[in-house]
Structure 1
Amino acid sequence: MTRVSSRLLQAGLSALFVLLIAAHVGGALHFDPIERVEAWLYDAWLKRTAPTGADDRIAILDIDEASLKSVGRWPWSRDTMTALVERLFDHYGVAAVGFDVVFAEADRSSGLDTLKALSQGELAGERAFAAALQKIAPRLDYDARFAEALAERPVSLGYYFVPEGYRATRTGTLPPWSLPPEVFGALKPGRPAAGYGANLAPFQDAAQGAGFFNMLADDDGTARQMSLVLPYGEGYYLALSASTLRIAFGGDAASAGVEQSELLGRNYLAPWLEVGGIRVPLGADGTVHVPYRAGSPFPYISAADVLAGKAPVGQLENRIVLVGSTAPGLADLRVTPFSSTFPGVEIHAHLIAGMLDGTTRVTPPWARDARLAAVLLLGAVLIVVLLRFGPALGLAATLALLGLLLAAYGAAWARFQVVPMAAPMLAVAGLYALNTAYGLFAATRSKRQITRLFGQYVPPELAAEMSRDPAHYTMEGQSRDMSVLFSDIRGFTNFSEKLSPTELSEVLNAYLSTMTRIVQQHQGTIDKYIGDAIMAFWNAPVDLADHAARAVRTALEMQAALPQLNDEFAARGWPAVKIGVGVNTGRMSVGNMGSEFRMAYTVMGDAVNLGSRLEGITKQYGVGILVTQSTVDADPVHAYMKVDEVRVKGKETPVAIYEPLGAKDRLADDVRSAAAAFDAAFAAYQKQDWDAAETALRALDAKSPRALYDVYLERIAQFRAAPPPQGWDGVYVYTTK
């Protein structure tokens, strides 16, 4: 290859790289790594700049575990809720209350319906009974009393919209829309909903306001932005945070519109919302970035303490109060840049505080054009510098351009704008890396074929066997039935923080060596190590008819090896290791894959992805190993217990998942009987026979407590409070990886 042709190829590859990133910015292509870097940059900047300190304007009334123990399981009776509302306003003098809960069902706990039935049946004609009933009926009509407590008080109820793509259910009474459909002109922010779940009509009619409490999450499951307006029917509706802020400032109607601006000869439109006299800029989709504060700025007051009058008046007086729950059983915990178990109700509090302070951030309408211009312009400049002046000056130019982009990101942030900069930054850094790698390649003038020997992946004895008949084995891509295993150390971040770098290296070496030895003992092929994670597969390159049984036996022995390994760790002062293992069997593509710079003998396909998902959800059930139906069907050696039927993220077809119990011919009687009892409990659960399922689970838990039983007991409690939709197929849906 001549020098000129080499430079032309280098320039062509560089230009193609820039154009691909530009296509991502323009929306023609989508690259997840760019979005992940964008999320990391946003989170890092948010944490670095987040304000600290307490906020004396907002408080959170927490339906916590202590409240559930004191008052009883949720939902509470309307009599209790009436007392709570009256005490908040009459005793504590709060400014406004927003409910991050929905009151969708009538309360019949007072027995009034039974008394009325008696007055028309067995006790019909009994004047004394009728007179007494007429006298006490108003006190026993808990729903009516709750509606009276809401009336004339600044209370905003909560409800939710059913997103598109879900069953279009409509329950309760939706409040009147807050904004007419034409208020945003042609922008039309937000996606129309398919339905809603709202409050009973008497409550909605009595309350001064209501707002939806739908949460948004990015692709990684993190709540960074929230919608303040959503369209439905003939108008736009307010979020709970905006509705609560509106009634706290007198209840005047909300207003909205579109602001026009011009930049470099182009016109841009941006929506805005005004509530309580406060104007809030919105993104084109009606969202704002949640202005999270560091630490714990809002006091949490137990609902039980308020009902008992034990809470300090100063913590609630003249404050906006949001009623929600941190109890794990009520499942209102979210992932945010600050925590993976963040109470959903506090997100509304941060939004209200941000609107009050004017610190909510939006992505301006010109952001995409600015990013596209940055990618193309800076990319062109850097290509010229790298081709003409070489890597040394190219490195200086790269660092200077990255600094410029970071400064632009910070300047926009200071103006309460979020202008994504990951794509331009990756274009700059990637160009330098690409050209440096190409320069090394061109300098050596070598056409080395990057091929890994099978001995790097399989046990030495297999490599020796393969060397005797090399023609029978190939690293070329092929499709075949295989079994794949993923294992991972649970809580590795916390685990690693307890060790020095040297100790962490020693721990990982000891752990990975032990587990790899087990994989190779059962003729598995090590695919890769991903930090503390192990990926292995069976039935390639060597044919193994019993690959499913080997993979499951490996998983069981990996778990069995942990006690001895942890004893060795404890002797050296190291923390104990717990792992989760996922195994799946199915059709996979296997072969030498990668780029001209790096190749790897690996497996790919949906069956591989599903195996990874299984490992990720073992901790959800408190089990060490999960396998799929296809693995169970292919393995006649081991006994299994069905754990659940799930839909994992990205899949519509339900997947049955199982816990391997051990070899069938060596299975203990108590293990076999416990598995049979759980199978019966699971069958009752899927039939929505909550009582039978709960009885069986509690009996199992009394004999031998397991986190698995607690998972289903919590689900049953949730379904009793909010029954599954009609036609529910008993499948649990995972929306995160």
Structure 2
Amino acid sequence: MKQRRIRTLLGLLLTVMMLIPVIQDSRPALLQRFEYDLYDMRLIRFLKQDQDPRIVIVDVDEKSLAEQGRWPWNRAKLALLLDQLFDRYGIAIAGFDMVFSEADSSVDLLQIKDLLLNSNKFPDLLSVLQQLDPDQRLADAIRDRPVVLGYLFDRSDSELLVGDPGKAVITAAPILDLQPIPEANGVIASVDALQSQQLRSGFFDNPMVDSDGVYRRVPLLQRYQSEYYPSLALAMWLALFEEQQVIPEFESDMTGEHQALVSLSAAGQSIPVDQSGAVLVPYRGSQGSFPYVSATDVITGRVDAALLEGAIVLIGTSAAGLLDLRVTPMSSRYPGVEVHANILSGMLDERIFSEPDYTRGVELVQLIISGLLLSILIPRSSVAFSTLITLGWTACLIGFNLYAWQSLFWVIPLGYSLLLVLLLYLFQQTTGYFFEARNIQQLAGQFGQYIPPEVVLELGRQDEGVQLSGENRDMTILFSDVRGFTQISEQLTPQQLTRLMNVYLTDMTRIIHQQRGTVDKYIGDAVMAFWGAPLSDDKHSLHGLDSALQMLQQLPGLNKRLVEEGLPEIQIGIGVHSGTMSVGNMGSEFRMAYTVMGDAVNLASRLEGLTKYYGCPLLVSGDMHARLPGYLYRQIDRVTVKGRHEAVELFQPMLVTETDGTELTEQVERFNEAVNLYRQRQWQEALVIFKLWLTGFPNDRTAELYIQRIKEYLAVDPGPEWIPVYSHQDK
């Protein structure tokens, strides 16, 4: 019980230690990586794995570079690309996952040739030069069209200022200022010639890449000069629905003192975000989850019009040399433009996973329940059952987590909970093993010489410890003794005597151990054993009597071995009694022994002594006879013994073989009838039966004693006060 409480308290202490980093949000890097891996496993397991035709990526790929020339292209070529997308293919909106931070001074030779051939269309040289300005050409293509330009924020101390990020979507929000939203010091945007024509733009940098370098979350907002600017995906979402503003939504904690950002309301939709304004990228699948068309095919008009009509178009690059490949849970070389496409797709489907602030509370509840459940149940269960409990609870945690993922789009942290379950299971099993090994070692030291090893193991596994200080128990006690041992020992050398006792005691002790008995002590040639302690035994009377009978059955074979070794045969007497006795560690400050004491012990010893008087190898008390009525008993006598005033019934359990079973039963019944006649003073009738018994069992000491008593009573009547109880008070 004490060890179980210790294991429970240690398990709860381990749980508290696991709660602290979760409460403080200071998880070790290795465990955080484990959480990332679990997130990636869930994400990959439940991918949609289908293409979203609503979003098309116009890709500056290797083919485009081969046909249209190396990057960067003349912006007149990009203007032609936009003209084709809107005028020929009828797209809904276009977004550039690139920035035009420097003026384009290159000249398109084909454009010059076209202008010279059509010089009559331009009245002066200034008009010709304006047509040759690639930035102006791209600006004209952007004007009055739903085009979103990309830019990036700078967080270095240099505070770069290149271009303008355009209009903020949130200008003043005091509560939002308290949130841990990424803040930029500078901006690298498109040149003024382009930005002035474009009211919408969005950043495509990601300051929230996870510690392992993987793109799992992307901020939808960044703070710059106290205003909030949208990401490329959010800017395109607003442009798609011709909206200008975003409304942040907050939730209060339990105290009501703090408010946390939980979502952004944009174009009539609430987009779940974390306190940093970041969204978990809802990846649809591996690369290619959106239709790709080559930019050169759009420019040359080779694309199927049905693919682009009404589509949301993202213009980006996948060519390796253009450095827009990202590490994502899907791949270590994933096009960055497709990250924005996945966010837009999630918004369209209202399929945005979230890990709001209250999920930490859910995780804490998981940890607390796991700690309480396993710390309390495992120490009280077997290894097999505790394993089932652990596996069952793990399945519940995973099942709830997957339900929340698929049905509620909640991302509930799972790594710490699984780690705690594993640690608690291993810790409890390990401590349980050491406690059990320690118990068994202690018990083996205390009982190893007296009880069989399997009983020691069972003692070590039981929940309740062994009561060593002493207690009263209903038990069975056995005493056995070698007849005429003194005379035998005088005839043998010390070596022969040692050999004889070793052979005898080994065989007798083995029988006692087989019947789950405890050898209390060897007293010279005598053996004292008991049943019912230290391990409780509901069948202690049966095991004690069976041990005595088997000891007698073993004796002929034992004597045969002794004779073969030149040693004398031996005979034994056994007394067995069941009753209440005191058991525990008893002794002095110098030596203690686990033993039994009490009236029942004394009576068993007296029974063993009376076997000599009655000439019976085995005597049991009336209590044993009443507890085990299924054996064949011969009534021996009703006596009083030294130290006990109440009369005791004596019985001899008979060894019954298959050959003499029926005949012996009839003979014993006749003998018992004679004893009853004797007690009823019908001595003549009893005398006849006792004499008849002697014809079958000559030299039977008990029958001879009864015949002697009857003759005395017939010669001198004992009087009416006579009772059939024989006194052995002086023995």
TM-score category of the 2 structures, normalised to the smaller one: 0.5 to 0.7
Contact 2:201-2:232 at 8 Å conserved across structures? yes
Aligned residue among 34, 38, 44 for 1:47? 44
Distance 1:282 1:366 in 2: 12
Contact 1:54-1:297 at 8 Å conserved across structures? yes
CA distance 1:292–1:31, shift in 2 (3 Å): same
Aligned residue among 351, 357, 368 for 2:360? 368
CA distance 1:364–1:135, shift in 2 (3 Å): closer
Distance 2:421 2:278 in 1: 30
Aligned to 1:139: 131
Aligned residue among 73, 78, 91 for 1:76? 73
Letter paired with 2:430: A
Distance 1:225 1:41 in 2: 15
Distance 1:192 1:265 in 2: 26
CA distance 1:69–1:319, shift in 2 (3 Å): same
1:220-259 matched pairs, under 5 angstroms: 220-249=212-241, 251-259=242-250
1:210 is displaced (CA, Å) by: 0.4
1:166 is displaced (CA, Å) by: 5.7
Matched, 1:283 2:274: yes
Secondary structure, aligned partner of 2:389: helix
Percent of residue pairs bearing the same amino acid type:
34
Pick the structure with greater CA Rg: 2
Aligned to 1:218: 210
Letter paired with 1:197: I
1:392 is displaced (CA, Å) by: 2.8
1:398 is displaced (CA, Å) by: 1.3
Aligned to 2:172: 181
Aligned to 1:695: none
Aligned to 1:207: 198
1:302-701 matched pairs, under 5 angstroms: 302-413=294-405, 414-445=407-438
Secondary structure, aligned partner of 1:272: strand
When normalised by structure 1's length, the TM-score is 0.54
1:188 is displaced (CA, Å) by: 2.4
Contact 1:333-1:341 at 8 Å conserved across structures? yes
Letter paired with 1:439: G
Secondary structure, aligned partner of 1:52: coil
Distance 1:25 1:217 in 2: 21
Contact 1:21-1:427 at 8 Å conserved across structures? yes
1:262 is displaced (CA, Å) by: 7.7
What do residues 509-565 of structure 1 show as CA deviations (whole Å, max 9, x unaligned)? xxxxxxxxxxxxxxxxxxxxxxxxxxxxxxxxxxxxxxxxxxxxxxxxxxxxxxxxx
Aligned to 1:661: none
CA distance 1:367–1:201, shift in 2 (3 Å): same
1:27 is displaced (CA, Å) by: 2.1
Distance 2:133 2:257 in 1: 61
CA distance 1:48–1:244, shift in 2 (3 Å): same
Contact 1:162-1:168 at 8 Å conserved across structures? yes
Matched, 1:27 2:18: no
Matched, 1:37 2:25: no
Contact 1:322-1:349 at 8 Å conserved across structures? yes
Contact 2:249-2:265 at 8 Å conserved across structures? no
1:265 is displaced (CA, Å) by: 9.9
Matched, 1:107 2:104: yes
Contact 1:177-1:234 at 8 Å conserved across structures? no
Contact 2:325-2:336 at 8 Å conserved across structures? yes
CA distance 1:189–1:254, shift in 2 (3 Å): farther
Contact 2:152-2:188 at 8 Å conserved across structures? yes
Q: How many residues align?
A: 426
Contact 1:268-1:365 at 8 Å conserved across structures? no
Distance 1:339 1:375 in 2: 32
What do residues 565-599 of structure 1 show as CA deviations (whole Å, max 9, x unaligned)? xxxxxxxxxxxxxxxxxxxxxxxxxxxxxxxxxxx
Secondary structure, aligned partner of 2:126: helix
1:81-160 matched pairs, under 5 angstroms: 81-110=78-107, 133-160=125-152
CA distance 1:311–1:284, shift in 2 (3 Å): same
Aligned to 1:607: none
What do residues 268-322 of structure 1 show as CA deviations (whole Å, max 9, x unaligned)? 7443223333321221211111111125331111111111111111121110100
Aligned to 1:190: 181
Distance 1:8 1:385 in 2: 11
Contact 2:7-2:375 at 8 Å conserved across structures? no
Distance 2:25 2:267 in 1: 41
Aligned to 2:532: none
Letter paired with 1:200: V
Secondary structure, aligned partner of 1:206: coil
Letter paired with 1:426: L
Contact 1:364-1:419 at 8 Å conserved across structures? no
Contact 1:87-1:307 at 8 Å conserved across structures? yes
Aligned to 2:61: 64
What do residues 660-713 of structure 1 show as CA deviations (whole Å, max 9, x unaligned)? xxxxxxxxxxxxxxxxxxxxxxxxxxxxxxxxxxxxxxxxxxxxxxxxxxxxxx
Contact 2:246-2:266 at 8 Å conserved across structures? yes
CA distance 1:277–1:79, shift in 2 (3 Å): same
Distance 1:344 1:34 in 2: 27
Contact 2:264-2:273 at 8 Å conserved across structures? yes
1:443 is displaced (CA, Å) by: 4.0
Contact 2:346-2:352 at 8 Å conserved across structures? yes
What RMSD over aligned residues (CA atoms) do the two structures have, in Å?
Answer: 2.7
Contact 1:169-1:196 at 8 Å conserved across structures? yes
What do residues 1-45 of structure 1 show as CA deviations (whole Å, max 9, x unaligned)? xx94x6566445433422222112112642223222211221111
Contact 1:245-1:276 at 8 Å conserved across structures? yes
Contact 1:154-1:208 at 8 Å conserved across structures? no
Aligned to 1:574: none
What do residues 450-481 of structure 1 show as CA deviations (whole Å, max 9, x unaligned)? xxxxxxxxxxxxxxxxxxxxxxxxxxxxxxxx
Secondary structure, aligned partner of 2:417: helix
Letter paired with 1:231: R
Contact 1:82-1:145 at 8 Å conserved across structures? yes
1:345 is displaced (CA, Å) by: 0.2
Secondary structure, aligned partner of 2:313: strand
Letter paired with 1:431: L
CA distance 1:258–1:24, shift in 2 (3 Å): same
Distance 1:419 1:187 in 2: 25
CA distance 1:270–1:412, shift in 2 (3 Å): farther
Secondary structure, aligned partner of 2:168: coil
Secondary structure, aligned partner of 1:322: strand
Secondary structure, aligned partner of 1:102: coil
Gaps (5+ residues) in structure 1? 116-127, 447-737
Contact 2:264-2:272 at 8 Å conserved across structures? yes
Gaps (5+ residues) in structure 2? 113-119, 440-731
Letter paired with 2:34: V
Contact 2:15-2:371 at 8 Å conserved across structures? yes
Distance 2:25 2:240 in 1: 44
What do residues 608-628 of structure 1 show as CA deviations (whole Å, max 9, x unaligned)? xxxxxxxxxxxxxxxxxxxxx
Secondary structure, aligned partner of 1:181: coil
Distance 1:53 1:336 in 2: 18
1:237 is displaced (CA, Å) by: 0.7
